[in-house]
Amino acid sequence: MKKNGSGRGPRRNNKPSPVIAGLPVAKNDEVVIDIIGMNHDGEGVGRAEGYTLFVQGALPGEKVRVKVLKTKKQYGYGKLMELVEASDARTSAPCPIYNQCGGCQLQHMDYAGQLAWKRQLVVDNLERIGKLRVAGRDAEVGASRVSEDTTDSGAAQAAGEEGIIVRPTLGMSEPWRYRNKSQVPIGVTEGGLVGGFYARGSHRIIDMETCLIQHEQNDIVVSRVKAIGQKLGVTAYNEETGQGLLRHVVVKIGFATGEMMIVLVTNGERIPRLNEWIAAIREELPAVVSICQNVNTRKTNVIFGDVTRVLWGREVIHDYIGDVKFAISARSFYQVNPAQTEVLYGKTVEYAGLTGNETVIDAYCGIGTISLFLAQHAKKVYGVEIVKEAIEDARANAALNEMNHVEFEVGASEDVIPRWKEQGIEADVIVVDPPRKGCDPRLLETILEMKPERVVYVSCNPSTLARDLRVLEDGGYRTVEVTPVDMFPHTVHVESVAVLVRNIVDNK
């Protein structure tokens, strides 16, 4: 339905704008549309006479008036001008800079609505990309299918016939202040140093004094470091000119220990008045036990460079996930939400079905977080990771927890795991936790050749999860169950854990 002041058609400005022949709308038209869904970027999806429009800030179930900003042949973008009918899930975003900052995308949706949407996002990807059948019954149906012996061929066959159970998203009782790591870009204005997050769709820094998804101490540290740097005359890096010193301030905190690390990412090795800066940080922030510098002189959006050194204090801070202790260095990858990480890994252990007698391979093991969680319940765990420094951290973490039945090796999983097989290592369970791009195709081939009884897939991207599950299903596995886990409340990101078992054909 189109709208203008008289109600007789679209309102257009007097300037000519590009028009694509055959489209029902053009740039600067205003139309009233129903929002029928939300895409993976958190934009509302509506249709004007069959033509798809993406609308930032609109929620499913709403009727909205939008101004068309841009059109392409298949879809366009609109700006939300008026809520004609609001969704029951709409809420007021508590963050004062939410509409400017690009860090969160869903604060205008209540938490129950976020959890439901994230589950639906997983379901949609499984069906659309993976061409997999999702069980239409309530998610509680079949609750015992994984806790029972799902390596049994009958269970696998049942899973294939009934469809995949997709559980409700596991959320947080308090979905705020959950992040243990802050990576704040630094810029400069007439008033001095600014630090915050990039505005949506740009590299313009929105200055921030508080972030409601960060640990409170992270806010304090960033604010103090900015103030100290400004007092000492430290310059901020300029992306356009490549000049200036301070690029990012990275803060890490151990939720369980309270230990904090600051990493100053600089455009060059020399930091003027360094001793004064260190002394001021130590005096004003006594919880900080490590101050590091990372040097990044490249013109890039990547935060870290190759050189990291300790300016003062320890090389690592410590934290716990459950009963497992981890040492975290400046460059270590460590999940940013420790409370939900324990939930995620607990579901991984559950899906692995460990009794204490199994051999487990953890592909993409990183610093050994999942490996060591699994090792509490397995006979033997092998971890493999292509990043040398991560494997060094993994070995150190295994020693820290006195876990002698865990071995780690550097290399690509698709190269190392076949070599292990040649050495006689057989896996009962293979766990994968790949990056957003999903598993390397050769790793999927390797899993099919290894024929473990179970595969547990931990995913940070529903689309590549669905793609890879399709490959494993075509190779003789059945996906029994998937559980989304909300690691990043108020953002569009969703993690999932899936369990697959060998089907009846393979078990003959």
Could you tell me the CATH number of the domain that includes residue 186?
A: 2.40.50.1070
325 vs 304: CA distance, rounded Å: 25
The answer on pLDDT for 340 being more than 60 is yes
Band the pLDDT of 398: cuts 50, 70, 90. very high
Q: Does residue 488 form part of some domain?
A: yes
- Better-scored residue on pLDDT, 501 or 154: 501
Q: How many domains does the chain have?
A: 3
**What is the dihedral sign for C-alpha 301, 70, 47, 111?**
positive
pLDDT of residue 6: 35
* pLDDT attached to residue 145: 37
31 lies in the same domain as 76: yes
Same-domain check for residues 375 and 485: yes
Secondary structure class of 254 (helix, strand, coil): coil
User: Domain range for residue 367?
Assistant: 113-173+336-502
pLDDT at 3 over 90: no
Same structural domain, 345 and 489: yes
Within-domain flag for 70: yes
Q: Cα(first)–Cα(last) distance of the chain, in Å?
A: 59
Domain boundary residue, one of 292, 307, 328: 328
In this structure, the answer to whether residues 48 and 76 fall within a common structural domain is: yes
Residue with tokens 């993994």: 394
Q: With left for phi above 0 and alpha for psi between -120 and 50, is residue 353 left, alpha or beta?
A: left
Among 95, 211, 439, 460, the active-site one is 460
Least confident of 62-76, 112-126, 201-215, 413-427: 201-215
Report the pLDDT value the prediction gives residue 477, as an integer from 0 to 100.
Answer: 98
* Domain-terminating residue out of 328, 357, 392: 328
Reported as a single tens digit per residue, the pLDDT across 444-482 is 999 999 999 999 999 999 999 999 999 999 999 999 999
Residues 262 and 285 in one domain: yes
Strand order in the sheet with 406-410: 165-166, 477-485, 495-502, 454-459, 429-432, 359-363, 380-385, 406-410
Residue 117 and residue 142 share a domain? yes
Q: Are 252 and 371 within one domain? A: no
What local confidence, expressed as pLDDT, does residue 135 receive? 94
State which amino acid sits at residue 255.
Answer: F
Structure token pair of residue 223: 């604010």
Closest by CA position to 455, among listed 435, 436, 437, 473: 473
- Same domain? For 69 and 169 the reply is no
The neighbouring-strand residues paired with 385 are 410
Q: Phi then psi for 327, rounded to 5 degrees?
A: -95, 130
Is 365 assigned a catalytic role?
A: no
Would residue 375 count as lying in a domain? yes
Kindly state whether residues 57 and 124 are assigned to the same domain: no
Q: Are strands 324-328 and 307-313 parallel, antiparallel or unpaired?
A: unpaired
Q: What was the pLDDT predicted at 136?
A: 79
Q: Which stretch of 159-168, 385-394, 463-472 has the lowest confidence by average pLDDT? A: 159-168
pLDDT higher than threshold 50 for residue 4: no
CATH of the domain at 367: 3.40.50.150
* % of the chain with per-residue pLDDT over 70: 90
**Residue 203 within any structural domain of the chain:** yes
Handedness of CA 252, 324, 345, 427 (dihedral sign): positive
What confidence tens digit (pLDDT) does each residue in 109-118 have?
Answer: 999 999 999 9
Q: Does residue 157 lie within any of the structural domains?
A: yes
Q: What phi and psi, each to the nearest 5 degrees, are found at residue 100?
A: -100, -40
Is residue 466 domain-resident? yes
Helix H or strand E encompassing 178:
none
Does residue 104 form part of some domain?
no
pLDDT band at 156 (very low <50, low <70, confident <90, very high): very low
Task: Check whether residue 265 and residue 353 sit in a common domain.
Answer: no
Are both 156 and 186 inside the same structural domain?
no
In a shared domain, residues 308 and 455: no
Query: What is the model's pLDDT at position 190?
Result: 64
Q: Which of these three, 328, 353, 381, is where a domain ends?
A: 328
Q: How far apart are the C-alpha atoms of 479 and 146, rounded to whole Å? A: 11
Per residue in 67-91, pLDDT (tens digit) is 999 999 999 999 999 999 999 999 9
Average pLDDT of the residues of the chain: 89
Residue 264 corresponds to which tokens in the numbers above? 């100053």
**pLDDT-based confidence at residue 157 (cuts at 50, 70, 90):** very low
Residues in the chain: 508
Q: From CA 352, how far away is CA 363, in angstroms rounded?
A: 14
pLDDT in the model for residue 504: 59
Give the bridge partners for 319, in sequence order.
326
Asked, for residue 102, whether it belongs to a domain, the answer is no
Q: For residue 2, what is the domain's CATH number?
A: 2.40.50.140
